[in-house]
Amino acid sequence: MLQNSVELDRLDRDIIGALVEDARSTYAEIGQRVGLSASAVKRRVDRLRETGAITGFTARVDPTALGWTTEAYVELFCVGKTSPSAIGVAVARLPEVISACTITGEADALLHIRATDVRHVEQVIERIAAEPFVVRTKSSIVLSRLIETPLITSRNGSTFVA
Amino acid sequence: MLQNSVELDRLDRDIIGALVEDARSTYAEIGQRVGLSASAVKRRVDRLRETGAITGFTARVDPTALGWTTEAYVELFCVGKTSPSAIGVAVARLPEVISACTITGEADALLHIRATDVRHVEQVIERIAAEPFVVRTKSSIVLSRLIETPLITSRNGSTFVA
DNA sequence: GCTGAAATAATGATTCT
DNA sequence: AGAATCATTATTTCAGC
């Protein structure tokens, strides 16, 4: 599915930049911007999807508009030999966990959670802490969000792809 | 720009769910899924964009395909009265910082950075540490990513919007 | 506020350079 | 590997309910 060996040229990166900025732009618009015809752009986009460089297209949603006003980061400290996949399976059950990874340092994993309010955050932490492999958790509530970008950053008009 | 007072009904949430899953679906496809005509869907999407519930459409990109193979989280410990906006302005200059927020707890801020390799992560941390308001930093390199979702979660076929 | 139809615009397949 | 053509399909606007 995912081929890392595929070379991406300047044109591919510009096309990706255009799509990160607006996933609903037409191929003609992108072509005008990067200097290609619409059909040439389409063929490259198809190839970028096939090779896995582009994994999909999604709407950017304002979580607060949907009632998700509170965010927190939760560090997980686990028992001796807990596998990453065991953590993954457990946290995937909670829709409030929007990101999870294992990390270096004292903690074993770091979770990013979105909830409706602080009480909701607490409930989610309780459910995570109830997992048998979790020894303790350490949470930080987000006070103010300073930066929030799609995976690859798009700022002040221009998109930084590589 | 952003109106939190706007009520979103089941139809709006279903439309958002469809667009989070695939931002390039046609209005007719979305309409079929949620039980509306294409033009009714379009009017609701336009309204959702106007009210700020939907902030845009973006391509989901595989960072590793673009050469961004390394991620890290960096906690920032700042001097006494450092304002969130000062931190925001400083980290916004670094394209490697894909997310930043102020948090409760010992650290003042948490940054999420994406870089090409560990050496690159180190360079970014050095530049952040060079900011006059930064007292010290504490970094964790991401070992394995377990969950990565768009802002609102979309898992096992169904999208969880509210 | 939704539907359905008509005008406009984008897409996808094909062929040519 | 990109450009041009054209049949098909989607989007957008608007009249009518």
Q: Which domains can be identified in chain A, with CATH numbers?
A: 10-51 (1.10.10.10), 63-142 (3.30.70.920)
Closest Cβ–Cβ partner in B54, B107, B141 for A61: B54
pLDDT tens for each residue of B85-141: 999 999 999 999 999 999 999 999 999 999 999 999 999 999 999 999 999 999 999
Contact B91/B102 with Cβ under 8 angstroms? no
Closest nucleotide to the alpha carbon of B24, via C1': D10
Given this model, what pLDDT does residue B65 score? 87
Mark B35-50 as b/e (b = at least 16 C-beta within 10 Å).
ebeeebbbebbeebee
At a 7 A CB cut-off, the residues bordering strand D are A 11, 31, 36-37, 39-40, 43-44; B 26-29, 38-39, 42
Given this model, what pLDDT does residue B160 score? 65
CB neighbour list of residue A93: distance below 8 Å, 6 or more residues apart: none
Per CB-CB distance under 8 Å, the chain A contacts of B105 are 138-140
Separation of CA B29 and C1' D6 in angstroms? 25
pLDDT tens for each residue of B72-95: 999 999 999 999 999 999 999 999
Given this model, what pLDDT does residue B22 score? 92
Closest Cβ–Cβ partner in A2, A51, A95 for B153: A95
Structure tokens at B69: 């193979």
| Beta-strand relationship, B97-103 and A134-148 | antiparallel
Q: Inform me whether the pLDDT recorded for A69 exceeds 70.
A: yes
Query: If pLDDT is split at 50, 70 and 90, which confidence band does B157 have?
Result: very low
Separation of CA A25 and C1' C9 in angstroms? 13
Separation of CA A151 and C1' C16 in angstroms? 40
Given this model, what pLDDT does residue A50 score? 87
Give this prediction's pTM: 0.89
Q: Terminal CA-to-CA distance of chain A, rounded, Å?
A: 22
Is the distance between the Cβ of B15 and the closest atom of strand C smaller than 7 Å?
no
Q: Inform me whether the pLDDT recorded for A158 exceeds 90.
A: no
Interface test with A, best of B5, B93, B151, B159 (most A CBs within 10 A): B151
> Cβ contact (<8 Å) for B8 and A65?
yes
Which nucleotides in chain D have some atom under 7 angstroms from a protein Cβ?
Answer: 1-5, 9-14
User: Who wins on pLDDT, B17 or A1?
Assistant: B17
